Structure 1
Amino acid sequence: MSLRRLWCLHVAGLRWLAHVCVLVAIAPARLAAAELMLPAEAEALSQRDTALGVYQLPTGPERADEVPSQAFEGRISRRTWRLPPAGSALEVLVPLRAQLVEQGYEVHLDCAARDCGGFDFRFGIEVVPAPDMMVDISTYHFLSASRGDEAVSLLASPAGGVTFLQIITVQPPEAAAAVTVTKPAALPAVPGPSLVDLAKTLEVRGHVVLTDLEFESGSTRLQEGAFPSLRALAAFLGDNPQYRLLLVGHTDTVGSLQQNIGISERRAQAVKDYLTQRLEADGSRIDVAGAGFLAPIASNLTTEGRLANRRVEAVLLTE
Structure 2
Amino acid sequence: MRSACTLLLSMFLACGSAQALDLKLPANASMTREVIREADTLILPIGPYSTQGAPRLRLDGQIISRAWRFPAQGVTTLQILMPLRRQLEDSGWEVMFDCLAEECGGFDFRFALPVLPAPDMFIDLFDYRYLVARRGPEAKLEHVALIVSQSGQTGYVQTIQLTGLGQESDATGPRSPEVDDTSPPDVVQALKRYGHAVLEGLDFGSGDNALGPGPHPSLEALAAYLLTKPNTRVALVGHTDSTGGLEGNIALSRSRAEAVLSVLTEIHGVPATQLEAHGIGYLAPLAPNTTGDGRESNRRVEAVLLDTAAE
* TM-score in terms of structure 2 length: 0.48
* TM-score in terms of structure 1 length: 0.47
Higher helix proportion, which one? 2
